[in-house]
Amino acid sequence: MIAGVETGGTKIICGVADAAAPDLLVDVVEFPTTTPIESGERIRGYLEHWGDRIDRVGVASFGPLDLDPGSPTFGSITTTPKPGWASTPVSELIGAGRRMALVSDVTGAAIGEAAHGAATGVDDVAYVTVGTGIGVGAILAGAPVSRVGHPEMGHLPVRRHPDDRFAGVCPFHGDCIEGLASGPAMAARWGRPTRALGSDRTAAVELESYYLGQLLASVLYSLVPQRIVIGGGVLKVESMLAGTRAAMLRELNGALGADHASTDADAFVVPPRLGDHSGVLGALHLAASLDADTRSLAAAG
């Protein structure tokens, strides 16, 4: 048996599967992300429930993460804005003595969707999440984009909407894409969570998609994916996906040519087929690929 763990800024998902069928969840639990101590206790308690039947664990964790095997802080969360989580070694959340592979949460989601979801059969795919934070994970030529780090495209600067005077919520930059378009940014701007926008929904979608269109254009220009999978809580707002697709096309303005796949935005920018389980299924896929002789933390991009 293998286990997968996805730690997000808001919630943690743990799942178990047979190593021969990592896409079939035997069991799955979900609980809020609180403190490292409390969250670690719950993760380890879940794994210990399965005992010796679990021999490998894949982890898709929010970050930023130190994935450089030569670094003294290898395997740790680094400069996250989430209070109390900076410098947390991910291996301590899992517990000693378990073979473990670690990727960023969005890389895990990209792995899951490439292996079992909306990007099967695609060698080059980017996964974009817009929720508590904004992140991008990429699989290029069938492999994670980096083995010593991962993209941090949520901190890209963007052009401001002409009507937007919101300062932004990023503690490092204020008005980077994450500071202007993440779930907490929307909640702060409109004074209510995304699920309760009410009469402000149309204006919120127009403003949000203006920024997300710029992000997707940057993903296209820099990573050249064959498909973009976009998920996260913000994309569950009615009309947000359609608005983001249209904004991406306006932003590109034909720069990649009339024959580029992105011109069919409905087929090029797609929602995750695995829903909220993209990350944990990616973590399980990662665990299944761990060599049986692996005895130390392995980073896979």
pLDDT, tens digit, for every residue of 193-216? 999 999 999 999 999 999 999 999
Distances (CA, A) of 18 to 1, 3, 12, 56, 104: 5, 9, 20, 11, 23
For residues 97 and 149, state if they share a domain. no
Give the residues of the chain that fall short of pLDDT 70.
Answer: 146-148, 292-301
Give the long-range contacts of residues 76-83, CB within 8 A, separation 24 or more: 79/172, 81/170, 81/171, 81/172, 82/9, 82/33
229 and 157 within one domain: yes
Verify that 49 and 75 share a domain, yes or no.
yes
| pLDDT for 146 | 67
207 and 244 share one domain = yes
CA distance 189 to 181: 10
Pair (10, 69) in one structural domain: yes
103 and 144 together in one domain: no
Report the candidate in 245, 247, 235 with the shortest Cα–Cα distance to residue 207. 247
Give the pLDDT confidence score for residue 295 in this predicted structure: 35
Question: What SS3 string covers the chain?
Answer: CEEEEEECCCEEEEEEEECCECCCCCEEEEEECCCHHHHHHHHHHHHHHHHHHCCEEEEEECCCECCCCCCCCCCEECCCCCCCCCCCEHHHHHCCCCEEEEEEHHHHHHHHHHHHCCCCCCCCEEEEEECCCEEEEEEECCEECCCCCCCCHHHCECCCCCCCCCCCCECCCECEHHHHHCHHHHHHHHCCCHHHCHHHHHHHHHHHHHHHHHHHHHHHHHHCCCEEEEECHHHHCCCHHHHHHHHHHHHHCCCCCCCCHHHCHHHHEECCCCHHHHHHHHHHHHHHHCCCCCCCCEECC
Beta-bridge partners for 21: 18
- How many domains is the chain partitioned into structurally? 2
CATH classification at residue 44: 3.30.420.40
Q: Which tokens hold the place of 2?
A: 């293998």
- Owner of token pair 């303005």: 253
Are both 188 and 233 inside the same structural domain? yes
Residue 251 CA to residue 214 CA, distance in Å, equals: 6
166 and 42 part of one domain: no
Q: For residue 114, is it within any domain?
A: no
Residue 199 lies in a domain: yes
What is the model's pLDDT at position 301? Answer: 46
Same domain for 41 and 182, yes or no, is no
Nearest to 27 by CA among 202, 277, 273, 210: 277
Residue 285 in any domain: the answer is: yes
- Structural domain for 184, as ranges: 119-271
Confidence (pTM): 0.92
CA distances from 116 to 23, 146, 235 (A): 7, 21, 21
Same-domain status, 139 and 79: no
Write the pLDDT tens digit of every residue in 101-147: 999 999 999 999 999 999 999 999 999 999 999 999 999 999 988 66
What pLDDT does 97 receive? Answer: 81
Q: Mark whether 160 and 82 lie in a shared domain.
A: no
**What type of residue is 108?**
G
Domain identity same for 79 and 158? no
